[in-house]
Amino acid sequence: MKYELLVPRLNTNDDEVDVVHWYFKDREYVEKGQEIVDLESSKAVVSIESETSGYISCCFQKGDTVKVGVPLAVFYTSLEELDADLQGNGQRTEAVSYRPSQATPVEAPTQLVAVGQNHQSPATSSLSVQTPSLAQDAIANHQKLQPTFTFTRFSKSAQEYIQQHQLDPALFEGMGLVSVEVIETVLGIRQPVATPAVDPAFALPSHLNNGQKVTVPSVTNPGLRSEKVSKSKQLEISLLTAGQSGGINSSLTLQFNSAGIRQTLEEMGSLNGQVLPLILFELARLLEEYPAFTAYYEAGQIFYYDRIDLGLAIDLGKGLKVPVIRNANQLSPAEILETVTDFATRYLENQLTVEDLTGSTITISDLSNEKILHFQPLINQNQAVILGIGGDSTIEGYPMTLTLVFDHRILAGREVALFLNTLRDRLLSYQLANLPVAQATVQTQTITCNRCLIDLDSLYQKFGKDALMHVHVNDKGQTAYICHVCLGGF
């Protein structure tokens, strides 16, 4: 018996999806629960899991655009059945088709439901592996790798993978966000995909050219190869085009050294030493005082969102996505870090939903880890500003820049300048660099909250990774400290 997996509807407004990547080739055996294909809608890339076991026959190739509801892949209980069906020999079997469980369009499925019965994998399956060899391969590959992060976090599927194959989590220490893809790369199961001189994805879908793939010729340069723009990139183009259309955009930039802030975070063991969560925290609080920064212009009117939902641009190699940190002004720096880390993990696992990627009221783009000191980002549709964060760790003092691109129909240079200077001053209040070295040493050893008098060690024992002691200047002009509890008014 064979089972047809139909193309699911990934987004309410999309009647088509693009095939981004197949994890299996024709005739390979697929186990229930394994990821088989990545599909891209205009909002997100979603990894589709098989919920049946069998030999797969892929109906489309990478780069094809396919309609919702048509067969995407067919699963067979035996290779003989697959070959007979494809070659037309023998008695053809009738397929059982399965759709996603929801009859109405769904906005954010991360897997399909019930595409067939569960069959046991044969002993000769090319994908079967033994746990001891997995562990040995992991150890061998891990010895070749150098940890590049100060933290390790496993996605949910990665945790299940480690438990299933009885792997030691310590093998991935210092690798940052660990997904199944990272684990399989370390194990040597998954190899980076080499980019050929002319990628097959650059060609037209086979069903548009009678089964023969051809490249799309350029009108002005017919000799050049072409690449189809992905659906998510098409959406990005439309949103950014709308953001610039009719707008009178301008920008202001200021620069500051972040070394002192980073020193404070490292000495306190806060936020994994990362400045971004602190910037987002202070930005969200400051936006409460500037409602026009979370607004947009349309038809002679200014429309106010009256909520602070930060859209953070992320690109970790799978395309640009902008997940939304909702009600960011109500979150602590540690909660913001946790949210950003969760987004990054689910980005790598293709598990970001449409809801995750829509509804931001302001956008932030951070290239400070790329050693880009200054750049000018583009305003998104139905927004008034975008904040670009630059930085260069190779320059003394680790300088950073804050660039605010704004719609001059809503905002003026003076208030934007005031906003940026206030944001910078709040960030610099966390640094200890303005203190003499001896005084700084004493202060870090005897840090206590000036309100409740709790010391740093007790604060950490009580709140763990959420503990945060803020540096500020008191009414006497002296450096003082206040814990996050007192700062929140509790």
Most confident of 83-97, 148-162, 357-371: 357-371
119 vs 64 pLDDT, higher one: 64
Is residue 399 in a domain?
yes
208-234 mean pLDDT: 57
Do 321 and 233 form a contact (C-beta atoms < 8 A)? no
Whether the per-residue pLDDT at 265 is higher than 60: the answer is: yes
Q: What pLDDT band is residue 182 in, cutting at 50, 70 and 90?
A: confident
Most confident of 116-120, 213-217, 222-226, 350-354: 350-354
Whether the per-residue pLDDT at 211 is higher than 70: the answer is: no
Provide the percentage of residues in the chain whose pLDDT is more than 90: 29
422 vs 174 pLDDT, higher one: 422
Most confident of 100-109, 411-420, 475-484: 411-420
Residue 331 CA to residue 337 CA, distance in Å, equals: 10
Whether the per-residue pLDDT at 370 is higher than 80: the answer is: yes
Do 278 and 428 form a contact (C-beta atoms < 8 A)? no
Write down the pLDDT at residue 93: 52
Q: What pLDDT band is residue 33 in, cutting at 50, 70 and 90?
A: confident
139 vs 258 pLDDT, higher one: 258
Is residue 209 in a domain?
no
Whether 446 and 412 map to the same domain: the answer is: no
Q: Which residues of 415-434 are buried (b: 16+ CB within 10 A; e: fewer)?
A: ebeebbeebbebbbbbbbbe
Is residue 111 in a domain?
no
Whether the per-residue pLDDT at 11 is higher than 80: the answer is: no
Phi, psi of 89 (to 5 degrees): -90, 145
- Torsional class of 114: left (φ above 0), alpha (ψ -120 to 50), beta (otherwise): left
Q: What pLDDT band is residue 239 in, cutting at 50, 70 and 90?
A: low
Residue 273 CA to residue 411 CA, distance in Å, equals: 34
DSSP state of 330: G
Q: How far is CA 209 from the centre of its chain?
A: 35
Whether 167 and 254 map to the same domain: the answer is: no
Q: What pLDDT band is residue 231 in, cutting at 50, 70 and 90?
A: low
Whether 307 and 238 map to the same domain: the answer is: yes
Whether 400 and 449 map to the same domain: the answer is: no
pLDDT per residue over 36-68, tens digit each? 898 888 767 888 888 888 899 999 988 888 888
Whether 414 and 442 map to the same domain: the answer is: no
Write down the pLDDT at residue 189: 64
Write down the pLDDT at residue 257: 94
Strands of 338-398 (E only): list them: 362-366, 385-391
Is residue 163 in a domain?
yes
**pLDDT mean across residues, the chain:** 76
Q: What pLDDT band is residue 242 in, cutting at 50, 70 and 90?
A: low
Is residue 25 in a domain?
yes
For 272, the domain range is 232-431
Whether 396 and 323 map to the same domain: the answer is: yes
Whether 469 and 416 map to the same domain: the answer is: no
Provide the percentage of residues in the chain whose pLDDT is more than 70: 69
Whether the per-residue pLDDT at 14 is higher than 90: the answer is: no
Q: What pLDDT band is residue 3 in, cutting at 50, 70 and 90?
A: confident
Is residue 137 in a domain?
yes
Strands of 193-348 (E only): list them: 249-257, 295-298, 301-304, 310-313, 324-325
Write down the pLDDT at residue 165: 78
173-178 mean pLDDT: 69
Whether 250 and 399 map to the same domain: the answer is: yes
Neighbours of 338 (CB within 10 A): 16
Whether 451 and 427 map to the same domain: the answer is: no
Most confident of 369-378, 440-449, 472-481: 369-378
Whether the per-residue pLDDT at 195 is higher than 50: the answer is: no
Whether the per-residue pLDDT at 128 is higher than 60: the answer is: no
Whether 287 and 359 map to the same domain: the answer is: yes
222 vs 442 pLDDT, higher one: 222
Q: Report the range of poorest mean pLDDT among 217-231, 248-262, 387-401.
A: 217-231
Query: Where is the domain boundary, 123, 158, 187?
Result: 187
Whether 68 and 181 map to the same domain: the answer is: no
CA separation (Å) from 88 to 56, 72, 302?
17, 20, 64
Whether the per-residue pLDDT at 120 is higher than 80: the answer is: no
464 vs 239 pLDDT, higher one: 464
pLDDT per residue over 266-325, tens digit each? 888 888 889 999 999 999 999 999 999 999 988 888 999 999 999 999 998 888 899 999
pLDDT per residue over 337-354, tens digit each? 999 999 998 998 888 888
Query: In the chain, how many domains are there?
Result: 4
Environment class of 212 (CB within 10 Å of its CB; exposed 0-12, middle 13-18, buried 19+): exposed
Write down the pLDDT at residue 372: 94
Write down the pLDDT at residue 336: 94
Residue 85 CA to residue 434 CA, distance in Å, equals: 76
Q: Report the range of poorest mean pLDDT among 9-13, 249-253, 299-303, 481-485.
A: 9-13
Is residue 17 in a domain?
yes
Is residue 254 in a domain?
yes
Write down the pLDDT at residue 226: 61
Q: What pLDDT band is residue 104 in, cutting at 50, 70 and 90?
A: very low
Write down the pLDDT at residue 459: 81
Whether 460 and 419 map to the same domain: the answer is: no
Whether the per-residue pLDDT at 444 is higher than 80: the answer is: no
144 vs 286 pLDDT, higher one: 286
Write down the pLDDT at residue 298: 85
